């Protein structure tokens, strides 16, 4: 039964994504009933949507939706009718600005939301005591400019402001929840994308012939593919586990770290087995690799988050078992 | 025990080369592979300057316009050039392998016609090796040379040809035997690019502009005088070219320079890097130096005429993997835009990005790492 529902959801999600080549916006998710589904079975709704988006290397503002539903489900007072645009941190940071008495300052982050001029922003900000809080900011005086990165189809924008008025400070728990929700969704997206790269690679090595045989018959080539499969399998297992019961942040950090590493492996090995073809723009790999460059580093890359996992384990004094049987 | 301490001559040569680079290459120069035609002009001008200082065809015999310098000076030249993004543009091909095999296999007439212009840095070459169905399996190449009056007619297609759009000559492999003859039916032609039977189409690719092209030959003509070596005897020439190509690029030199530059370019942000990343940085720096020593061993063996192709493969494997590991480490260090502001930081960031893109293809171009592993592996288990 559950499997049938899952197949159905994945199929519907794939169709929806395929029908919107410019990328999903908030209204598309409403139309497909995603917001109802996410209330019933959040793991399935987020997993199917983001793995589908990753597989298609589709740009969207769906991450905002995934983050905001988790925040409101946990009691955050945020409007889903006129949602704030979430400001994500650039690689290597944990906040997009700071908050002092009253105002926010030095805002510098990334926005995925597609709405031309958002009325408010939702931004993780560092406090003077070193903690990170989540605050709704008024959009006046905030500049938005397109980022011309490696993957223009993402339509990323950089948001900057010297200072911004704080409408509502939600508190530190919500900042942690935002990081968790966003990383979990991006882990799913990375897994879908790595799977897409693997599929392109498998298709190539089974059709490309050298020395009179398909290059996929060579063990050296097969090993490249199995390394992707193993990295992908491990990342998918931990990401699925992060939906069991109350997800702790270490499990989510581990999931994102492993998903980013699987994606890095898929890029390295996928490009290698596709040879010169893989580097050309007309081959399907180029698009996927561009997205992977962003997604792997977004919200922390593999080695960086592995460091964060280590610090969390040391701070907590115990390691999670990742088996579902942790005491 | 090998002693790799540099002699005074080599030390002076490095100093002189750095002086010339500082004088005439813009600080933010990233090589001739860009959309800006001016970058190719800079490379041409730099070659003229090297020529004036008798540094261009450094190791060539004086007879052909060289300075008859030894392999260690050539190594220093290679390192200094690659560390500064190869300001000679495509010239290293003519100098390092096309010229040397013309010296070895060319007729007196070919040597007199082709070598002096290469030595003066006046002519760009490209090499027509790979084809859509002949990549790793190069002996499967199908581009056909048919005997006609006074020369050969060329029909076929080459791919991944670097600099094809800029080059005036092509070092071309074509089939003169039957298709089944494989290695025994290939000949080498020196063919002029500017003729109606040749069309170059750039292939848009993620490693950056002008890196790769397709070249179509339809009734192109090459005269008898421009056949290099004997008919159907091209494979031994190719083997020499491939061996020279494998050791021709000092990838480790740019790796070492960029890694060494990183702390200064990052400024205060360097202190905020996690320990694990600083460790990877240090490990990569050690790997750069280790690879340099492997290169020196290969040069020493070459100097004594004892170069084993397996050692060239081992060095090539180490060098290309190094390129990629350094690219990953540097990318992790600079992050998305974690870099501070200022010209130095900006230039460094662009250099890292350029290195990253180029490094991705390192284990694919000029022989995949798999083919090099096969060559080395077979040698190791051979009785």
- Confidence at B339, pLDDT banded by 50, 70, 90: very low
**Does the pLDDT of residue B83 top 90, yes or no?**
yes
Alpha-carbon torsion angle B342, B345, B351, B355, nearest 10? -150
Using alpha carbons only, give the angle B122, B128, B131 rounded to the nearest 5 degrees: 160
Q: Average per-residue pLDDT in chain B?
A: 90
Q: Which of A88, A91, A92 to mutate to test the interface with B (most CBs of B within 10 A)?
A: A92
Q: Per residue in A235-253, is it b (16+ CB within 10 Å) or e — as a string?
A: bbebbebbbeeebebbbbb
| Same-domain status, A93 and A56 | no
Q: Which of B159, B370, B378 to mutate to test the interface with A (most CBs of A within 10 A)?
A: B370
The least confident of A16-20, A262-266, B93-97 is B93-97
Q: Under an 8 Å CB criterion, which residues of A touch B?
A: 90-93, 209-211, 215, 218, 220-221, 264, 268, 271-272, 275-276, 278-282, 286, 289-290, 297, 301, 303-304, 306-307
Quote the pLDDT of residue B342.
52
Are B131 and B159 in contact by the 8 Å Cβ rule? The answer is yes
CB contact under 8 A, A278 and B135: no
Domain CATH for A137: 2.40.110.10
* B42: phi then psi, degrees, rounded to nearest 5: -60, -45
- Residues of chain A positioned with their CB less than 8 A from the CB of B335: 90-92, 297
**Does the pLDDT of residue A172 top 50, yes or no?**
yes
Quote the pLDDT of residue B338.
41
Q: Which 8-state DSSP code applies to residue B146?
A: E
The count of residues in chain A is 327
**pLDDT tens track for A91-141:** 667 789 999 877 999 999 999 999 999 999 999 999 999 999 999 999 999
What is the 3 state secondary structure string of chain A?
CHHHHHHHHHHHHHHHHHHCCCCECHHHHHHCCHHHHHHHCHHHHHHHHHHHHHHHCCCECHHHHHHHHHHHHCCCCCCCCCCCEEEECCCCCCCCCEECCCEEEEEEEEECCCCCCCCEEEEEEECCCCCEEEEEEECCCCEEEECCCCCHHHCCEEEEEEEEEEEEEEEHHHHHHHHHHHHHHHHHHHHHHHHHHHHHHHHHHHHCEECCEEHHHCHHHHHHHHHHHHHHHHHHHHHHHCCCCCCCHHHHHHHHHHHHHHHHHHHHHHHHHHHHHHHECCCCHHHHHHHHHHHHHCCCCHHHHHHHHHHHHHHHCCCCCCCCCCC
Give the residue among B178, B202, B238, B272 at the shortest CA–CA distance from B35. Answer: B202
Write down which residue in A171, A191, A206 finishes a domain: A171
| Same-domain status, A309 and A179 | yes
Q: Is residue A210 part of a domain?
A: yes
Quote the pLDDT of residue B139.
95
**pLDDT tens track for A195-226:** 999 999 999 999 999 999 999 999 999 999 99
CB contact under 8 A, A278 and B130: no
Q: Is residue A78 part of a domain?
A: no
Give the residue among A253, A299, A111, A297 at the shortest CA–CA distance from B333. Answer: A297
| Same-domain status, A279 and A215 | yes
Q: Which of B134, B138, B139, B206 to mutate to test the interface with A (most CBs of A within 10 A)?
A: B206
In angstroms, what separates the C-alpha of B321 from chain A's closest C-alpha? 11
**Does the pLDDT of residue A75 top 80, yes or no?**
yes
Quote the pLDDT of residue B267.
86
The least confident of A162-166, A244-248, B54-58 is A244-248
Q: Within 13 A of A184's CA, how many CA atoms are on the CB side?
A: 31
**Does the pLDDT of residue A249 top 50, yes or no?**
yes
Give the start-end residues of each E strand in chain B.
Answer: 125-128, 144-148, 151-159, 169-175, 186-192, 198-202, 213-223, 227-228
Are A88 and A182 in contact by the 8 Å Cβ rule? The answer is yes
Beta pairing class for B169-175 and B125-128 = parallel
CB contact under 8 A, B336 and A91: yes
* B299: phi then psi, degrees, rounded to nearest 5: -65, -40
How far apart, in whole angstroms, are the C-alpha atoms of residue B127 and residue B223?
18
Domain residue limits at A127: 85-171
CB contact under 8 A, A90 and B135: no
The least confident of A16-20, A147-151, B222-226, B371-375 is A147-151
**pLDDT tens track for B100-115:** 999 999 999 999 999 9
Quote the pLDDT of residue A92.
64
Q: Is residue A322 part of a domain?
A: no
How far apart, in whole angstroms, are the C-alpha atoms of residue A139 and residue A41?
33
Range A175-199 average pLDDT = 97
Domain CATH for A287: 1.20.140.10
Are A144 and A111 in contact by the 8 Å Cβ rule? The answer is yes
CB contact under 8 A, B205 and A280: yes
Please state, for a pLDDT cut of 90, what percent of chain B lies above it: 61
How far apart, in whole angstroms, are the C-alpha atoms of residue A72 and residue A78?
6
- Residues of chain B positioned with their CB less than 8 A from the CB of A301: 332
| Same-domain status, A184 and A275 | yes
- Confidence at B96, pLDDT banded by 50, 70, 90: confident
The number of distinct structural domains making up chain A is 3
Distance of CA B274 to the CA centre of its chain: 35
Q: Under an 8 Å CB criterion, which residues of B touch A?
A: 130, 133, 135-137, 140, 159-160, 203-207, 212, 272, 274, 276-277, 280, 324, 328, 331-332, 335-338, 360-361, 363-365, 368-370, 373-374
CB contact under 8 A, B130 and A276: yes
- Confidence at B343, pLDDT banded by 50, 70, 90: low
Q: Which of B159, B273, B274 to mutate to test the interface with A (most CBs of A within 10 A)?
A: B274
In angstroms, what separates the C-alpha of A209 from chain B's closest C-alpha? 8
Quote the pLDDT of residue A180.
95
- Compare A99 and B309 and report the one with higher pLDDT: A99
Q: Is residue A245 part of a domain?
A: yes
Q: Which 8-state DSSP code applies to residue B225?
A: G
| Same-domain status, A202 and A277 | yes
Alpha-carbon torsion angle B314, B315, B320, B321, nearest 10? 60
Quote the pLDDT of residue A326.
46
**Does the pLDDT of residue B313 top 90, yes or no?**
no
Coil/strand/helix, residue B368: coil
- Confidence at A248, pLDDT banded by 50, 70, 90: confident
Quote the pLDDT of residue B331.
86
Beta pairing class for A157-171 and A143-146 = antiparallel
CB contact under 8 A, B135 and A92: no
Of the partner residues B160, B274, B373, the one whose CB lies closest to the CB of residue A304 = B274
Of the partner residues B272, B364, B369, the one whose CB lies closest to the CB of residue A276 = B364
| Same-domain status, A310 and A182 | yes
Angstrom distances, CA of residue A177 to CA of A75, A174, A184, B25, B294? 11, 5, 10, 51, 50
Q: Is residue A327 part of a domain?
A: no
CA Rg, chain A, in Å?
Answer: 20
Range B188-216 average pLDDT = 90
- Residues of chain B positioned with their CB less than 8 A from the CB of A286: 205-206
CB contact under 8 A, A276 and B160: yes
Coil/strand/helix, residue B99: helix
- Confidence at A42, pLDDT banded by 50, 70, 90: very high
Nearest residue of A to residue B272 by CA position? Answer: A92
Q: Is residue A324 part of a domain?
A: no
| Same-domain status, A139 and A219 | no
| Same-domain status, A147 and A255 | no
- Compare B209 and A147 and report the one with higher pLDDT: A147
Write down which residue in A44, A73, A102 finishes a domain: A73
How far apart, in whole angstroms, are the C-alpha atoms of residue B362 and residue B246?
11
| Same-domain status, A237 and A225 | yes
**Does the pLDDT of residue B197 top 50, yes or no?**
yes
Q: Is A145 exposed, middle or buried (0-12, 13-18, 19+ CB in 10 A)?
A: exposed
In angstroms, what separates the C-alpha of A240 from chain B's closest C-alpha? 27
The least confident of A25-34, B149-158, B330-339 is B330-339
User: What six digits make up the tokens of B169?
Assistant: 């000559």
Are B111 and B45 in contact by the 8 Å Cβ rule? The answer is no
| Same-domain status, A68 and A90 | no
Write down which residue in A43, A73, A103 finishes a domain: A73
**pLDDT tens track for B129-140:** 999 999 999 999
Of the partner residues A278, A280, A290, the one whose CB lies closest to the CB of residue B204 = A280
| Same-domain status, A156 and A186 | no
End-to-end CA distance of chain A: 31
- Confidence at B336, pLDDT banded by 50, 70, 90: low
| Same-domain status, A246 and A187 | yes
- Residues of chain A positioned with their CB less than 8 A from the CB of B328: 264
**Does the pLDDT of residue B199 top 70, yes or no?**
yes
- Residues of chain B positioned with their CB less than 8 A from the CB of A88: none
């Amino acid at each position: 039964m559950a499997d049938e529902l899952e197949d159905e959801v994945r199929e519907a999600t794939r169709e929806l994504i395929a029908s919107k080549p410019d990328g999903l916006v908030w209204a598309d998710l409403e139309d497909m009933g995603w917001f109802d589904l996410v209330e019933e079975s959040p793991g399935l709704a987020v997993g199917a949507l983001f793995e589908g988006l990753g597989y298609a290397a589709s740009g969207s503002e769906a991450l905002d939706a995934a983050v905001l539903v988790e925040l409101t489900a946990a009691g955050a007072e945020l409007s889903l009718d006129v949602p704030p645009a979430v400001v994500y941190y650039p690689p290597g940071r944990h906040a997009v600005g700071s908050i002092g008495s009253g105002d926010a300052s030095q805002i510098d982050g990334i926005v995925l939301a597609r709405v031309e001029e958002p009325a408010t922003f939702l931004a993780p900000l560092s406090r003077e005591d070193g903690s990170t809080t989540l605050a709704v900011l008024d959009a006046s005086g905030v500049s938005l400019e397109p980022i011309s990165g490696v993957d223009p189809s993402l339509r990323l924008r950089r948001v900057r402001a010297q200072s911004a008025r704080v409408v509502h400070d939600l508190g530190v728990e919500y900042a942690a929840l935002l990081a968790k929700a966003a990383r979990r969704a991006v882990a799913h997206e990375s897994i879908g994308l790595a799977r897409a790269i693997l599929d392109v690679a498998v298709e190539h090595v089974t059709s490309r012939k050298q020395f009179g045989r398909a290059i996929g018959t060579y063990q050296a080539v097969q090993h490249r593919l199995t390394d992707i499969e193993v990295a992908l399998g491990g990342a998918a297992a931990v990401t699925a586990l992060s939906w069991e019961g109350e997800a702790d942040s270490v499990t989510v950090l581990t999931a994102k770290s492993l998903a980013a590493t699987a994606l890095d492996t898929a890029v390295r090995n996928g490009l290698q087995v596709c040879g010169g073809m893989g580097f050309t723009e007309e081959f399907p790999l180029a698009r996927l690799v561009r997205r992977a460059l962003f997604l792997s580093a977004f919200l922390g890359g593999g080695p960086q988050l592995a460091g964060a996992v280590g610090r969390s384990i040391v701070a907590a004094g115990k390691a999670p078992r990742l088996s579902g049987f942790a005491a | 025990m090998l002693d790799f301490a540099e002699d005074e001559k080599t030390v002076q040569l490095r100093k002189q080369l750095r002086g010339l680079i500082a004088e005439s290459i813009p600080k933010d120069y990233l090589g001739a592979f860009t959309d800006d035609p001016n970058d190719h002009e800079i490379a041409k001008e730099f070659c003229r300057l090297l020529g004036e200082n008798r540094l261009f065809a450094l190791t060539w015999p004086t007879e052909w316009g060289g300075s008859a310098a030894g392999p260690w000076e050539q190594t220093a030249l290679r390192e200094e050039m690659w560390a500064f993004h190869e300001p000679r543009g495509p010239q290293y091909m003519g100098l390092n392998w096309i010229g040397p095999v013309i010296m070895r296999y060319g007729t007196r007439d070919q040597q007199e016609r082709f070598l002096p212009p290469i030595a003066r840095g006046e002519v760009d070459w490209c090499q027509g090796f790979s084809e859509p169905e002949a990549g790793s399996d190069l002996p499967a190449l199908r581009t056909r040379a048919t005997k006609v009056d006074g020369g050969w007619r060329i029909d076929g297609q080459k791919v991944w040809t670097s600099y094809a759009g800029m080059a005036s000559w092509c070092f071309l492999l074509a089939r003169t035997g039957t298709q089944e003859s494989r290695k025994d039916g290939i000949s080498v032609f020196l063919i002029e690019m500017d003729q109606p039977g040749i069309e170059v189409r750039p292939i848009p690719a993620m490693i950056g502009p002008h890196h790769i092209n397709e070249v179509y030959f339809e009734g192109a003509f090459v005269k008898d005088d421009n056949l290099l070596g004997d008919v159907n005897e091209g494979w031994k020439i190719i083997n020499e070219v491939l061996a020279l190509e494998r050791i021709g690029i000092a990838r480790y030199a740019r790796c070492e320079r960029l890694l060494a530059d990183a702390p200064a370019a990052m400024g205060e942000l360097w202190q905020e890097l996690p320990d694990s990343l600083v460790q990877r940085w240090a490990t990569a720096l050690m790997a750069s130096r280790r690879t340099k020593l492997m290169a020196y061993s290969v040069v020493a063996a070459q100097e004594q005429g004892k170069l084993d192709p397996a050692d060239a493969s081992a060095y090539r494997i180490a060098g290309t993997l190094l390129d990629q590991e350094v690219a990953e480490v540097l990318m992790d260090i600079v992050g998305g835009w974690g870099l501070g502001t200022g010209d130095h930081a900006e230039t460094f960031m662009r250099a890292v990005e350029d290195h990253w893109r180029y490094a991705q293809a390192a284990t694919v171009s000029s022989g995949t790492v798999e083919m090099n592993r096969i060559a080395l592996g077979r040698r190791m288990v051979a009785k």
